[in-house]
Structure 1
Amino acid sequence: MGLLSQGSPLNWEETKKHADHVRKHGILQFLNIYNKVKERQRDVLKWGDEVEYMLVEMDDNNEKVRLVLNGKDVLEILQEKGEKINPNHPTLWRPEYGSYMIEGTPGQPYGGTMSEFNTVEDNMGKRRREAASVLNKNETLLTVTSFPRLGCPGFTQPEYKPTPVEKGVSKSLFFPDEAINRHPRFSTLTRNIRHRRGEKVAINVPIFKDKNTPSPFVETFPEDDGEAARAALPDHIYMDAMGFGMGNCCLQVTFQACSISEARYLYDQLATFCPIVMALSAASPFYRGFVSDIDCRWGVISASVDDRTREERGLEPLKNNKFRINKSRYDSIDSYLSCCGEKYNDIELTIDEDINKQLLDAGIDKLLAQHIAHLFIRDPLSLFQEKIHLDDENESDHFENLQSTNWQTMRFKPPPPNSDIGWRVEFRPMEVQLTDFENSAYVVFIVLLTRVILSYKLDFLIPLSKVDENMKVAQKRNAVQEGMFYFRKDAFKGCNPVLDPPSTAQNGVESEAKDGEEFTLMSIDTIINGKEGVFHGLIPMLNCYLENMEVDVDTRCTILNYLKLIKKRASGELMTMAKWMREFAAKHPQYKQDSVITDKINYDLLHKCDRIAKGEEKCPELIGDPVNRGK
């Protein structure tokens, strides 16, 4: 999770005094990097995935599942046994926000050959077994996006009570500070977001209205000093801490491009897929022990780190703050970076004009300058006393301070100073899946998509305002089946494609489109699998690409099995994780159709999840037939 410095963290008042210093030197550090590597070409394709895990204890006697707060110890053991002994160890382990979380990545990035796709699931399996081998009895490793009873009484092991009225970092009614990773970055971020905002973060998720759900659904909070009563909305699940968002797990992929221009092109093209793939990977329907009316975590995590003041949110006139800011610092991107994308930049972009001018005067082009000047309207949230004065020629901590706390759907990543790493882009919207097979399928699907986009010079761009609308649709319950998404009708226009583009006859589109419109509303099934006269379909494009590539039989079999999962999730033949979890809860004998996930329902659900993840139980409605995995 971004930059992990060691040292003495500053509180918000001290950090605020140095905000301009951090911004000033962050820009100088960016310019130094840019000028050294702007002409860099022919970097080889490399890519890697990040999987986040939760450590849980299965209490079989009491039929409860709790989050185990020993991530720091587990991490240290894994690093001591792995990378500290062998720099070429096949897995790397890193801390995450929750003290019950760890993050695993491949020890070395994957390369550009097709055979690499055949090693992804094997490496994820190694990570899972490696971490599981150092856990205590009754503990296990789960890849679930959102722990269903996060924030409920007694959800941690050991058990800690929240401290809303005492001195602490989150002052949450539900989430104890002990559930936050012990590295000072995480507690500092939590405290400083709250202090900068001037109040606790407020997360309101619509509750799923079942037969016996109270209407209106209104909670009372015994330890509330009045803040929760003001912030909680009727018919919503209320949460009040960064941990409710950053304490969820996700799946991310980072790509190294051959040049800065290719990185910008990929950044833009993949941005249009963020809502589509998020809906396809939907895996988080339960929050704070309740069934919600959303399937994805994105809005929850966005609200959980929203440090904007009332002025910045437009609730009060600007007086102490400089900008009105339309989004949380965790949200969808606000501008395309490539020349192709410029005409689709139709979102009002708030930028720091002084920084923008400085970048333009230094020779940065308009699109990149406004991107950086937009990121730098934010304040630094976590600063260490020892890291204030830096060597701007050889360090980039001030740039990364702001870059790494703008958590957007895509991230454009300049090379670190004096390294052999190239220009990279990070694809960030996916929810983590239950099994290594599913996670591998989503990763391989996205990587293959980048190969096809680059090979055929495809163009999927639509106005960014439409991508934002898609993001809202993608989080809704059962968006895969019921949502309609703006998508480009002809990705080949202006290119020299190997494929024959589909007919785009007006009588075949799924919603009325004016003559000359480049995009229309489509279902995810149409986007992924294609529909005659509407859109070619991503899976047919990937299949055509594979037919033109030399791929060994084993690798081809593996890839086709992954694509089959994506294809069937899109068509509805297989459920998303979110839908599967909903159906499990709805059919549970203890469920009272009141939108409540009890300890027993949670235990049975996650016990089944654990067995499926370990391959001890089949789940054909979620994964299909495991026999056909090509393994």
Structure 2
Amino acid sequence: MGLLTQGSPLNWENTKKYADYIRSHGIIQFINIYNNLKDRQKDVLKWGDEVEYMLVELDDKDEKVQLVLNGDEVLDTLQGQGEKINPNHPTLWRPEYGSYMIEGTPGQPYGGTMSEFNTVESNMGKRRREASSVLNQNEILCTITSFPRLGCPGFTKPEYPPTPFESGASKSLFFPDEAINHHPRFSTLTRNIRHRRGEKVAINVPIFKDKCTPSPFVETFPEDDGESARAALPDHIYMDCMGFGMGNCCLQVTFQACSIDEARYLYDQLATFCPIVMALSAASPFYRGHVSDIDCRWGVISASVDDRTQEERGLKPLKNDKYRIFKSRYDSIDSYLSNCGNKYNDIDLTIDEDIYNQLLGAGIDKLLAQHIAHLFIRDPLCVYEEKLQQDDENESDHFENIQSTNWQTMRFKPPPPNSDIGWRVEFRPMEVQLTDFENAAYVVFVVLLTRVILSYKLDFLIPLSKVDENLKMAQKRNAVKDGMFYFRKDIFKGCNPGLDGTSSAQNGLETDGANEEYTLMSIDTIINGQEGVFQGLIPILNCYLENMEVDVDTRCTILNYLKLIKKRASGTFEPQCCNIFSPEFFQS
């Protein structure tokens, strides 16, 4: 969702004028947060999930399924009968990119006791029932990653035509601006990404070819002025705006660590799991009415918000721009933050040298300084005129402006000023599932994993270049069954800095050789284990549970969740065979 502010957003030309100002004050704000809170210790483990939903209407008469563009009204109703009258309401509701989307979270974060795992699914069910109760007849709340007909003619209710030649936000051939949330942040992001890039975004997804697919598969666009024809690739599904990425749904988990060092340790360890869990949760093969040859949305979103100019993408020599930038704003992480991870930072990292030196001069260590200096090579995209002047000691909106539009697989989140919130990390790669049981299973699996990592001081780190290769593999069709992923062989024998993320980097630490630290494994081996290769995460989690005091109900719930993860990894999971749009499906 990112930073939501009320106000008057600036167009790109005026935003660009203030870019250096916002970066400068954003860094000052970060330095103030760091100096004030770097020694904060003993925050309790808190965590929470975020589920994104689509509002769908089923038209039995005309046999149509459409996305309903009434998210604003649904959100107002839910907030009005919930948090606005009861600050302790068990659910919270927030807007999302699409005007057919809403986001639901628990009203309060979950705590550190094992019994909390037994409440995740029930809270998700409460959210679904609560939102469903305010919908109109024939409307349902759907947790589906990618709506199969997103961008097809008449995919919204009410129906609106795209306006590629009018002064709108997207100028898309397929996606009407009315499908974008009415909050000014979302249309401003859409417009300013296009203006900064100098052209529309270009999303090309390989099409799945069966015996009926033309070869080559080439589309023509009657409303095109030539730009889309140049951007569209043969044998690919072409899309042309932010809505095709940010208009998808996902499942995320945020953790509060006990200290900044623990947060950095968790950030690094979980980063290696992002491709694994992405492949495990893969749920989006359909785009613009076609069957694609991929299973995940990640690359689609990455391309949908890629605001890099041709110079920054390496298509032209640098002349007007400062940096060659190797990835979109929405991509995998580019550097580890903990001392353990330093020797595995093998990706070329583009940083703002002036900001990097400013951070070092303020007493911030190299690893964290280069992380922030890398995020801040980006421009702000959505600036509000009313928020230009800020108190850098007590506000952080300029920092969050850049931070919240770097959408990476993991996010390292400093505490907001003057709050009781601690240092956090956000796990972002999961695809949302159809049922609350499945979504709860993935959330509990990831949270349990963090407990085991911290309790056993496990080390899953591999070179970041291999994590990037894993991320590419994770998005391929049937990667969960057919893909091979780089993974560490011995997770109990590795660097253990005592969670000291700010001590001097161990640049001289040698191993028996990188090829002996990690190897290619299947998802089944990583999750379930293979004798002589890897013990498997599920057996490790089961061992952890056996040594914990867990009540019978909670233990049974957790084991059922782990059984689902185990079956997904082994390829033996069988989804329920029924109408996924029926109320009975979600209640079962």
Which TM class, normalised by the smaller chain length?
A: over 0.9
Identity %: 84
How big is each residue's C-alpha offset from its partner over 1:408-462, in whole Å with a ceiling of 9 and x where there is no partner?
A: 0000000000100000000000000000000000000000000000000000000
Q: Please state how far the C-alpha of 1:404 moved relative to its aligned partner.
A: 0.2
| In the alignment, structure 1 residue 222 sits paired with structure 2 residue 213 | no
Letter of the structure 2 residue corresponding to residue 411 of structure 1: R
Q: Structure 1 residues 363, 495: CA separation in 2 closer, same or farther (over 3 Å shift)?
A: closer
Q: Structure 1 residues 366, 514: CA separation in 2 closer, same or farther (over 3 Å shift)?
A: closer
Given that 2:121 and 2:440 are in contact with CA atoms closer than 8 Å, whether structure 1 keeps it comes out as: yes
Q: Structure 1 residues 182, 372: CA separation in 2 closer, same or farther (over 3 Å shift)?
A: same
Identify the residue that residue 153 of structure 2 maps to in structure 1.
Answer: 153
Q: Please state how far the C-alpha of 1:467 moved relative to its aligned partner.
A: 0.2
Given that 1:457 and 1:495 are in contact with CA atoms closer than 8 Å, whether structure 2 keeps it comes out as: no
Identify the residue that residue 341 of structure 2 maps to in structure 1.
Answer: 341
2: distance between equivalents of 1:97 and 1:567? Answer: 33
Identify the residue that residue 562 of structure 2 maps to in structure 1.
Answer: 563
1: distance between equivalents of 2:81 and 2:585? Answer: 24
1: distance between equivalents of 2:27 and 2:212? Answer: 55
Q: Structure 1 residues 196, 416: CA separation in 2 closer, same or farther (over 3 Å shift)?
A: same
1: distance between equivalents of 2:6 and 2:27? Answer: 22
Q: Please state how far the C-alpha of 1:243 moved relative to its aligned partner.
A: 0.2
2: distance between equivalents of 1:516 and 1:433? Answer: 36
Spell out the pairing of 1:193-342 with structure 2 (5 A cutoff).
193-342=193-342
How big is each residue's C-alpha offset from its partner over 1:222-251, in whole Å with a ceiling of 9 and x where there is no partner?
A: 000000000000000000010000000000
Given that 2:264 and 2:338 are in contact with CA atoms closer than 8 Å, whether structure 1 keeps it comes out as: yes
Letter of the structure 1 residue corresponding to residue 324 of structure 2: R
1: distance between equivalents of 2:494 and 2:513? Answer: 20
How big is each residue's C-alpha offset from its partner over 1:95-118, in whole Å with a ceiling of 9 and x where there is no partner?
A: 000000000000000000000000
Identify the residue that residue 625 of structure 1 maps to in structure 2.
Answer: none
Letter of the structure 2 residue corresponding to residue 476 of structure 1: K
Given that 2:436 and 2:586 are in contact with CA atoms closer than 8 Å, whether structure 1 keeps it comes out as: no
Q: Please state how far the C-alpha of 1:608 moved relative to its aligned partner.
A: 2.7
Identify the residue that residue 185 of structure 2 maps to in structure 1.
Answer: 185
2: distance between equivalents of 1:462 and 1:317? Answer: 33
Q: Structure 1 residues 487, 494: CA separation in 2 closer, same or farther (over 3 Å shift)?
A: closer
Given that 1:435 and 1:612 are in contact with CA atoms closer than 8 Å, whether structure 2 keeps it comes out as: no
Q: Structure 1 residues 516, 219: CA separation in 2 closer, same or farther (over 3 Å shift)?
A: closer
1: distance between equivalents of 2:163 and 2:129? Answer: 36
| In the alignment, structure 1 residue 79 sits paired with structure 2 residue 57 | no
2: distance between equivalents of 1:489 and 1:61? Answer: 57
Given that 1:96 and 1:181 are in contact with CA atoms closer than 8 Å, whether structure 2 keeps it comes out as: yes
Q: TM-score, with normalisation over the residues of structure 1?
A: 0.90
2: distance between equivalents of 1:612 and 1:195? Answer: 46
1: distance between equivalents of 2:373 and 2:170? Answer: 30
Given that 2:302 and 2:328 are in contact with CA atoms closer than 8 Å, whether structure 1 keeps it comes out as: yes
Identify the residue that residue 506 of structure 1 maps to in structure 2.
Answer: none
2: distance between equivalents of 1:221 and 1:49? Answer: 40
| In the alignment, structure 1 residue 543 sits paired with structure 2 residue 515 | no
Given that 1:175 and 1:241 are in contact with CA atoms closer than 8 Å, whether structure 2 keeps it comes out as: yes
Q: Please state how far the C-alpha of 1:166 moved relative to its aligned partner.
A: 1.1
Identify the residue that residue 50 of structure 1 maps to in structure 2.
Answer: 50
Q: Structure 1 residues 428, 297: CA separation in 2 closer, same or farther (over 3 Å shift)?
A: same
1: distance between equivalents of 2:119 and 2:97? Answer: 28
Gapped regions of structure 1 (runs ≥ 5) = 497-512, 585-604, 617-631
Q: Please state how far the C-alpha of 1:213 moved relative to its aligned partner.
A: 0.5
| In the alignment, structure 1 residue 608 sits paired with structure 2 residue 580 | yes
Identify the residue that residue 553 of structure 1 maps to in structure 2.
Answer: 552
2: distance between equivalents of 1:494 and 1:223? Answer: 58
Letter of the structure 2 residue corresponding to residue 458 of structure 1: L
| In the alignment, structure 1 residue 470 sits paired with structure 2 residue 442 | no
Q: TM-score, with normalisation over the residues of structure 2?
A: 0.96
Letter of the structure 2 residue corresponding to residue 533 of structure 1: G
Letter of the structure 2 residue corresponding to residue 101 of structure 1: M
RMSD over equivalenced CA pairs, Å:
1.3
User: Number of aligned pairs?
Assistant: 573
2: distance between equivalents of 1:336 and 1:63? Answer: 50
Identify the residue that residue 170 of structure 2 maps to in structure 1.
Answer: 170
Spell out the pairing of 1:384-399 with structure 2 (5 A cutoff).
384-399=384-399
Q: Please state how far the C-alpha of 1:614 moved relative to its aligned partner.
A: 1.9
- SS class of match (1:614): helix
Given that 2:140 and 2:581 are in contact with CA atoms closer than 8 Å, whether structure 1 keeps it comes out as: no
Identify the residue that residue 364 of structure 1 maps to in structure 2.
Answer: 364
- SS class of match (1:340): coil
2: distance between equivalents of 1:454 and 1:562? Answer: 21
2: distance between equivalents of 1:524 and 1:345? Answer: 24
- SS class of match (2:40): coil
Identify the residue that residue 597 of structure 1 maps to in structure 2.
Answer: none
How big is each residue's C-alpha offset from its partner over 1:322-356, in whole Å with a ceiling of 9 and x where there is no partner?
A: 00000000000000000000000000000000000
Identify the residue that residue 88 of structure 2 maps to in structure 1.
Answer: 88
- SS class of match (1:339): coil
Identify the residue that residue 532 of structure 1 maps to in structure 2.
Answer: 531
- SS class of match (1:117): helix
Q: Please state how far the C-alpha of 1:517 moved relative to its aligned partner.
A: 1.6
2: distance between equivalents of 1:237 and 1:495? Answer: 44
2: distance between equivalents of 1:514 and 1:270? Answer: 23
Letter of the structure 1 residue corresponding to residue 382 of structure 2: S
How big is each residue's C-alpha offset from its partner over 1:372-397, in whole Å with a ceiling of 9 and x where there is no partner?
A: 00000000000000011100000000
2: distance between equivalents of 1:190 and 1:519? Answer: 41
| In the alignment, structure 1 residue 485 sits paired with structure 2 residue 516 | no
Identify the residue that residue 38 of structure 1 maps to in structure 2.
Answer: 38
Letter of the structure 2 residue corresponding to residue 614 of structure 1: F
2: distance between equivalents of 1:362 and 1:342? Answer: 21
Identify the residue that residue 627 of structure 1 maps to in structure 2.
Answer: none
Given that 1:488 and 1:519 are in contact with CA atoms closer than 8 Å, whether structure 2 keeps it comes out as: yes
Letter of the structure 1 residue corresponding to residue 538 of structure 2: I
2: distance between equivalents of 1:574 and 1:215? Answer: 33
1: distance between equivalents of 2:301 and 2:515? Answer: 38
Q: Please state how far the C-alpha of 1:167 moved relative to its aligned partner.
A: 1.1
Given that 2:330 and 2:408 are in contact with CA atoms closer than 8 Å, whether structure 1 keeps it comes out as: yes
Spell out the pairing of 1:503-518 with structure 2 (5 A cutoff).
517-518=516-517
Identify the residue that residue 375 of structure 1 maps to in structure 2.
Answer: 375
Given that 2:378 and 2:402 are in contact with CA atoms closer than 8 Å, whether structure 1 keeps it comes out as: yes
Given that 1:295 and 1:477 are in contact with CA atoms closer than 8 Å, whether structure 2 keeps it comes out as: yes
Gapped regions of structure 2 (runs ≥ 5) = 497-511
- SS class of match (2:137): coil
Identify the residue that residue 62 of structure 1 maps to in structure 2.
Answer: 62
| In the alignment, structure 1 residue 102 sits paired with structure 2 residue 102 | yes
- SS class of match (1:349): coil
Identify the residue that residue 435 of structure 1 maps to in structure 2.
Answer: 435
- SS class of match (1:569): helix
- SS class of match (1:608): coil
2: distance between equivalents of 1:261 and 1:31? Answer: 16
Letter of the structure 2 residue corresponding to residue 94 of structure 1: R
Identify the residue that residue 136 of structure 1 maps to in structure 2.
Answer: 136
Letter of the structure 1 residue corresponding to residue 518 of structure 2: F
| In the alignment, structure 1 residue 25 sits paired with structure 2 residue 6 | no
- SS class of match (1:426): strand
Q: Please state how far the C-alpha of 1:612 moved relative to its aligned partner.
A: 6.0
Q: Please state how far the C-alpha of 1:610 moved relative to its aligned partner.
A: 3.9
